[in-house]
Amino acid sequence: MFPGGDTRSSAHYGPYPLVMDRAAGCRMWDVDGNELIDFMNNFTSLIHGHGHEDIVLAVQQQAAKGSAYAAPSMDQIELAELIVERIPSIEQMRFTSSGTEGTTMAIRCARAATGRKKIMKMEGGYHGSFELAEVSLVPFPDRRGPLNAPVSLPVDGSFPDNVLLDTIVCPYNESDMARELIARHAGEIAAVIVEPVLGSMGMIPATPEFLGALREASLAHDILLIFDEVITLRLDVGGAQTPLGITPDLTCMGKIIGGGLPVGGVGGRRDLMQWFSPQRQQPVMHASTFSGNALTMAAGLAAMRHYTAAEARRINELGDQLREGFNRAFAQAGIAAQMTGAGSLSNVQFTSEPVHDARDSLAASMSAGHIPRLLHLAMMRRGVFSAARLMYCISTPMTSREIDFAITALNESLQELRPYIERERPGLLL
């Protein structure tokens, strides 16, 4: 029925994905009755886990009143007011139907505002399911070029050449190289887009120095800086940018602001957001059937009202506990692996060396062969559900009990897998 057994490439894993029956809090049950603790949370979007009482009530009440109006609702206005209040860089915003659409509209806004067409993105950065956003997502060793001059690479055979020509690839966490690339292409670049934590390639935090260099260089050359906070908005009620003290021109949002329903958003400086105004003579076109729909806005408003600064701190601390426990388990098992990440976002890397960028993460994955896949399945058999790429995230229903459960499952899984590692990947042994 489905090619590969699912309708999402990111959610696929072998030999076949589980089919879920129901979920509550931080737990899910598949159709065979197996219980799993959900450390994926639909790829970080379910900040309150499953079936939060107030979110369910908000959705039920709104569904009875209508799901979409092709007009604003009060929940839409109140959710936007909450976001603008929390994130100082956002003076105005628009909702979209996905994070992909949010980054698309941010890039189009930047091109219209600057009159330039090229975009600089980070090697290994993922900004949605469209070609430009996926350029050099995977820096294949035989084609990626030198670190100081990365080649724009397609992730598959669907990319037209002009997309590659319009995208300048910047090495992640390399401040001097970023400054040089921006200066060299300054007359062509409309915007620099960056994730404060490199998500798809291993939850690698950007250094404050690197993000500061991007801000400084973009300001010097009248280039817009776009923060893709679709994933990282959960790290603080004001997003990752608030504790970093860095103010982007535009911010892309998604995932947690929808309360578990499809959502995205873009916001930023008032003068930039005015490019979307229909009252403008030639506005940036943004028509999207389900943007700001009443059902998502009701769920999102309930979710964000419950996501307080105290809850953000608490789940970030649980993320610290998870990384410490996993790293201790790897060390005790004598296996060269570690868990990287920031706050409530984490990812396993099969290397004992520092993981600085996408090249480091890819090298670790390639050297591990099929061991990460075996670990993913071994953890599922013990009731721990993560992304197949071994990404973990924390939701607010979780406590130290779930963290300890996952750490115990990892210890047991490593004992089971060690004979395979000794035989097939001895280089992973410390």
Residues involved in catalysis: 126, 228, 255
Closest among 363, 386, 357 to 125, alpha carbons compared: 357
Torsion of CA 121, 359, 235, 57, to 10 degrees: 80
Q: For strands 264-268 and 92-96, give the pairing.
A: antiparallel
Q: What long-range pairs does 237-243 form, CB within 8 A, spacing at least 24?
A: 237/86, 237/307, 237/308, 237/309, 237/312, 238/86, 238/87, 238/88, 239/86, 239/87, 239/196, 240/196, 240/197, 240/342, 241/87, 241/89, 241/196, 242/87, 242/88
Structure tokens at 174: 């390399």
Residues 6+ apart with CB under 8 A from 209: 175
**Which SS3 state, helix, strand or coil, does residue 165 take?**
helix
Q: Let me know: does 87 contact 257? Beta carbons within 8 Å.
A: no
Instruction: Report CA torsion sign: 136, 140, 143, 144.
Output: positive
State the amino acid at position 271 in one-letter form.
Answer: D
In the three-class reduction of DSSP (H, G, I as helix; E, B as strand; rest coil), residue 275 is classed as helix
- Angle of CA points 350, 149, 170, to nearest 5°: 65
In what helix (H) or strand (E) does residue 419 lie, and over which residues does it extend? helix 400-424
Q: How many CA atoms lie within 13 A of 297 on its CB side?
A: 26
Integer Cα distance of 341 and 221 in angstroms = 31
CB atoms within 10 A of CB 333: 18
DSSP assigned state of 14: S
User: Which secondary-structure segment (H or E) carries 408?
Assistant: helix 400-424
| Bond from prior residue into 160 cis (ω within 30 degrees of 0) | no
H or E element, residue 384: strand 384-385
